[in-house]
Amino acid sequence: MISGPVRWGILSTGGIAASFVKDLRLLPDAEVLAVGSRTPEAAALFAQRHAIPRAYGSWAELAADRDVDVIYVATPHSAHYAATALCLEAGKAVLCEKPFTLDLATTRDLLDTAKRRGLFLMEAMWMRCNPAVRRAVEMIADGAIGEVTSVQADFGLAGPFEPTHRLRAKVLGGGALLDLGVYPITAALLMLGSPDHIRAWAKLSDEGIDENTGIIFGYDTGAVATLSCGIVGQTPTAAVVTGTAGRIEFAQPFFCTRSFTVSRPGADPEVVSFDFDGAGYQFEAAEVQRCLREGLLESPLVPHAVTVEMMALLDTIRAQIGVSYA
């Protein structure tokens, strides 16, 4: 267990890593100690831009730093497995970006490694740590809108994206589903749980990744979730949860929202809002630090079972739409 500041290592130097580091600065008990990249030049430049004391030209050097308590893995999807496995075998706790890996088999392997080594491991699904989302889930569980009957959620970007872009390059785990679709799916899982029936369709690119994907979850209760993701057009990035006694609409973009509105028949709309600085990555970082201080090996907010559930759903959807990764 950690008593002083939690010392972070950042693995990768892309845009998501930069955003995460900026939000880490909002936590007084967090210290960004080191960054590692595939090249010394990239690591040094990132360290200079973000005032990070130590820069390493390889992932292995970062993982070997004895002063680092936890490593945030921010690589493209296709490298999540290798980077996280390296860090775990080096004895480091890990926060790995979503999607956790490219498939369920490699996800289970990482979770087994963390268990075997007695190390903390968490998927960086920041939506589950967002205070507004957490409050909405609590209110729904308390019956604020009655029994949930439907969830509608979308996430689409306009593009166009070059063939080498991470959203299109198959070798990087490209496609809308793994990068964007995980958010609408998470909305459905939070509000309705795991579906009993799944149907999916997608338009595939010449590279064999999904460009525009629609998903329907069916529940034996009669509830449905209609979800979509794409990289061919900007969608509202909205989420609405409807129940027998009202509905909740999240302010856009729903996955990092700061507020939501509760509407009930015969009553004025109720707006629930949260004011916070930064983009919202600090909440998942704070959860990691809380778990490390309490000696937990997984987070109650993003437990391993949820990561397994998500990867199993993604495998099923990919099989239906015809997307596979080597």
309, 194 contact by CB (below 8 A): yes
**How many other CB atoms are found less than 10 A from the CB of residue 133?**
26
Any catalytic annotation for residue 170?
no
Catalytic residue among 92, 98, 115, 170: 98
CA-wise closest residue to 8 among 286, 301, 295, 294: 286
The DSSP code for 179 is I
137, 188 contact by CB (below 8 A): no
Q: Between 131-141 and 182-192, two packed helices, what is the crossing angle to 10 degrees?
A: 30
For 89, 238, 303, the CA distances from 118, given in Å and listed in that order, are 11, 39, 15
283, 106 contact by CB (below 8 A): no
How far apart are alpha carbons 87 and 11 in whole angstroms?
A: 10
Q: Which residues of 2-15 are buried (b: 16+ CB within 10 A; e: fewer)?
A: eeeebbbbbbbbee
Cis peptide bond N-terminal to 184, omega within 30: no
281, 256 contact by CB (below 8 A): no
| Residue numbers annotated as active site | 98
